[in-house]
Structure 1
Amino acid sequence: MALYIDYADEIQRLILDAALTPCERLPSVREVSRRRGLSVSTVLQAYRLLEARGLVEARPRSGYYVSPRNRADPRQPDRPVTTMHAMPSGVPVDRGGLIHEVLEATRSRDLVPMGSAFPDPRLFPLARLRRSIYRGLQHVDAHQSVEDLSPGNAALRRQIAVRYHLDGQHVDPDEIVITNGALEALNLCLQAVTRPGDTVLIESPTFYGALQSIERLGRRAIELPIDPVRGLDPDRLKRQLAVHRPAACWLMPTFQNPTGALVPAAAKQAIVELLAAHEVPLIEDDAYAELYYGARRPPPARVFDRTGNILHCGSFSKSLAPGYRIGWAMPGRYVSCVLRYKLESTLAASLPAQVGIADYLRGTHYDTHLTTLREQLRRRRDGLIDLVRTHFPAGVEFTRPEGGYVMWLRLPQGISARRLYHQALAAGVGIAPGVLFGCDDTFDDHIRLNYGHPSPAALERGIVRLAGILTEQSE
């Protein structure tokens, strides 16, 4: 057998045995040549053979790296690389302009902010957090500004692990990468398991941040329709996986944005097992998990993972500190790859924000705050339901979410959500038109309302104005 094949097989065994992990750099060609007594040509041929097998990838002026996902394990059936040509059923995403327009409108304090994606900042313990930042920074030494680069502040990662432990989940703090909010965590995870042109299975409707990420990174989307109450049906996913070979699946199974849907635990387990069987990584957005109205936090999909196939992402932006932009990723077997992308992009999250939140989490304040926050949001949900039933015209359908702070509404037949958005804006009311949450205009008969941002008085004022516009259009 040729020398280059022998050496390629040797490296392949290291990769399959996880001695070399995803995104890890292989020894340089010259270093291998010098230390192993092989010619440069032999080493190059070996690396190119590994690249052809899908186990490594070349990066210009950088060298060879283990592929982010093992697409050519000889112990498994071949899976062709999914590209725009190999997977024409995936669709490109183009929603950036409309999303930017709606987000800009939500910045105005003159609007009733029902189109906002953020909770009411008055619901959060900002004064106590400021004191925690001051107290935490007093104990930061000169070296910590370097030590707390990626993967992030060690104390904060330990506190996050403890939070999971309280819910019966084991998390090693070393698995956690602190990020600038959950959206960065999700972006890093998407980069870790896909390449430009790859297809990604997403919910329909879906969080517009997922659409922005897919668009910006040059991926393509395959939409899976979901139930607005129970989320993604495993049987529907099974049928799609029988047809498509996606590079990844991006889901928000707990209090999904925009519908508020909660996938039942048994269905989450079925989804996880299906994706693992097809070797499709699952990017799990769990940003709303702490905002449950029931007695216990619903289990994330992560608890059913047995293979490291789930890249789990969380955040304090929805539950504690909206403006601090502190989130995290627990990327399973892809942690080294996510960490590498973090180092290559934003390097680290804000040190003051990290030490402040870590200090705050040490006491019992967080659980006390969450109890109050959940009750406030539940009351605002009930208030919105009462207002919609009282003022909206017949034909409007809506969900009753069991967590989070958004409600998904279907408009009477013939009413365009995009047109309604502009009319409501002129009346001083912000809403999120349904077309934000899909790759096309499928949801132009839906809107998303945020009941967690406006005060109860502002919420009533906004609903009355919106009801007036809807009534005029329905007549």
Structure 2
Amino acid sequence: MQKEFLYTEISNGIAVQIKNGVLKAGDKLPSVRTLCQEHQISMNTAKRVFLELESQSLIESKPQSGYFVSRFFDVKLPLAQISRPSLLADNKEPDELISKVYENLGKKDMTMFSIGIPSGCLLPQAQLKKEIINATRDLNEGGTEYEELQGNVKLRRMIALRSASWGGNFNENDLVTTNGGMQALSFCLMALGKPGDTVAIESPCYPGILQLANGLGMKVLELPTHPTSGIEIEALKKNLPKINICLLIPNFNSPLGSYMPDENKKEIVKLLSENNIPLIEDDVYGDLYFGSHRPKCCKSFDKEGNVLYCSSISKTLAPGYRVGWIAPGKYKDRILKLKLLHSTSSITIVNEAVANFLKSGKYEKHLYQMRRTLQNNYQNYVQTIAESFPEGTRTSRPQGGLSLWVEFDKAVQTRELYDKAIKQNISIAPGRMFTLQDQYENCMRLCFGLPWSENTRSQLEQIGKLAKMM
């Protein structure tokens, strides 16, 4: 308790000095060692102080130089509004718009603010190549054999070990591997529902989930969602009689980047369990937190096996490897039956390579660096938007993940903005992609998983100029 008190007291004291202007943007802070000596604390406690201040965007670190007061802490942009969708979506799927945006995937001359994955230069490509080679050498028959139905044992064991950091406490038998995160979600929806059933989701929502539910003939209930804390629980309560399945991304969802508080997660798990409504939890962004610790999941509070926990490495390590998994709780037999029917086996060599990468400890080092990079990118985006976008522009305030939601005045139609930007080799994701209703036409999602550079800044400024002209 004494250590916790000291850590909080010291970080709060420095935060007050920054906010009151005693410490100004660019000022150098004491070193970790100096902080230890001044306050008689351990190195770990001192580092935790700086991590907490970083998570609040109050300070930034510079390699070999130390910690400095951030240039971004006083940037004030209005918060994006709480969404207010209709009770039931009218299933007006924006197929043409989604196809239009995704057809640019892979174009090398295009600045892809529209695609929510990290740039390849943020990923440990050379290390992964070595692991693929090693897996080919070490596996029986060079990895050409099927692996067991439930998936690579070593990979499941490593995922189970990592789950302890957020209260998952899995063992290897709790998990089933899949070919990517979308296959995990697909198996869950097929296992739980049928055509005509109603799936409750956040609004706005990742387009792939909308297309998946629609493709399975299900109705979609878009719930009012706060840009920082996720769905409104009261709206969920009012609509429980209509809901068959709930599918949520509680940690840094796309496109808002909202982060559901633990008390909300706990309440939702209890509420759905009491009403016998299964919850599919997509935690694909959970490792990309900006704070000092990994957030808990809804699965952390699941005592009945009613939460089907899904995740993958698509947003953190290798989108193209298609490695995902499910902790399906009491629905495990249904998931295994679907996997046998649809894919039989996951990709043997790739799963072995990823398992070895996780076991080596390199994944944690990679995640640490990636989180710092993404947080810096987000801060740079916000600074540029504040300087270059039309007055009154609103944004979400993600505490992790890859997505920033931008809300313009109603006069700015982002479909039209997309057409103007694409002529200059800039791709954005118009807000209409993230709903089955006629809404969010003045909004867009920007991915901050690109490497930050003067060109990135220039392209963002260009979006701002185009929006101002509208």
- Please give the TM-score of this superposition, normalised by the length of structure 1: 0.78
Residue deviations 1:128-185, cap 9 Å, x none? 1111122223221149755614211111111111111244431021121111111110
Aligned residue identity for 1:417: T
What do the CA deviations read for 1:336-380 (whole angstroms, capped 9, x no partner)?
Answer: 111111111122221111010111111221111111000000000
- The reply to whether residue 433 of structure 1 matches residue 434 of structure 2 is no
Per-residue CA deviations over 1:444-468 (Å, capped at 9, x if unaligned) read 1110001112543332121111111
Separation in structure 2 between the aligned mates of residue 334 and residue 93 of structure 1, nearest angstrom: 31
In structure 1, the residue corresponding to 2:93 is in which secondary structure?
A: coil
**Which residue is 1:161 aligned to?**
160
Looking at structure 2, the residues matched to 91 and 333 of structure 1 have their Cα atoms a distance apart, in angstroms, of 32
Residue equivalent to 1:267: 264
The SS at the match of 1:105 is coil
Once structures 1 and 2 are overlaid, which stretch shifts more, 271-280 or 96-105?
96-105
> Equivalent residue for 1:345?
342
Letter in 1 for 2:224: P
Whole-Å Cα distance in 1 between the matches of residues 356 and 204 of structure 2?
38
Equivalent in the alignment of 1:413: 410
Distance (Å, rounded) in 2 between the aligned partners of 1:97 and 1:346 = 29
When structure 1 is superposed on structure 2, of 430-439 and 227-236 the one drifting more is 227-236
Identity of matched residues, %: 33
Contact 1:164 1:170 in 2 (8 A): yes
Q: 1:143 and 1:392, CA in 2 relative to 1: closer, same or farther beyond 3 A?
A: closer
Write the deviation string for residues 426-457 of structure 1: whole angstroms up to 9, x where unpaired.
Answer: 12211000000001221111100011125433
CA change 1:154–1:143 in 2 (3 A) is farther
Q: CA separation of 1:199/1:383 partners in 2, compared to 1, >3 Å: closer, same or farther?
A: same
Shift of 1:403: 0.3
Q: Could you list the per-position Cα deviations for residues 107-136 of structure 1 after superposition, in whole angstroms to 9, with x for gaps in the alignment? A: 322221101121111111111111112222
- Spell out the pairing of 1:66-465 with structure 2 (5 A cutoff): 89=88, 91-92=90-91, 94-142=93-141, 146=145, 148-241=147-240, 244-465=241-462
Aligned length: 384
Question: Are the aligned partners of 1:148 and 1:154 in contact in 2 as well (CA < 8 Å)?
Answer: no
The 8 Å contact of residues 124 and 320 in structure 1, kept in 2 or not, is answered as yes
Instruction: Return the letter of the residue paired with 1:132.
Output: E
Q: CA deviation at 1:413?
A: 2.5
Q: Aligned partners of 1:140 and 1:205: how far apart in 2?
A: 43
Q: Distance in 2 between matches of 1:399 and 1:204?
A: 13
- Letter of the structure 2 residue corresponding to residue 176 of structure 1: L
- Secondary structure of the 2:247 match is strand
List runs of 5+ in structure 1 lacking aligned partners: 1-87
State the distance in 1 between where 2:178 and 2:158 align: 15
Deviations 1:274-310 (A, max 9, x none): 1111111001110000000101111010011111111
Partners of 1:143 and 1:336 in 2: how far apart? 30
Q: Which runs of 5+ in 2 are unaligned?
A: 1-86
Moved over 6 A (4+): none
User: Is the radius of gyration larger for structure 1 or structure 2?
Assistant: 1
Moved more, 349-358 or 94-103: 94-103
One-letter amino acid of the structure 2 residue matched with residue 254 of structure 1: N
Q: Tell me, what secondary structure is at the counterpart of 1:152? A: coil
With structure 2 as the length reference, what TM-score do the two structures score? Answer: 0.79
Decide whether aligned partners of structure 1 residues 334 and 144 sit closer, same or farther in structure 2, where only a CA change above 3 A counts.
farther
Distance in structure 2 (CA, Å) of the matches to 1:462 and 1:223 = 32
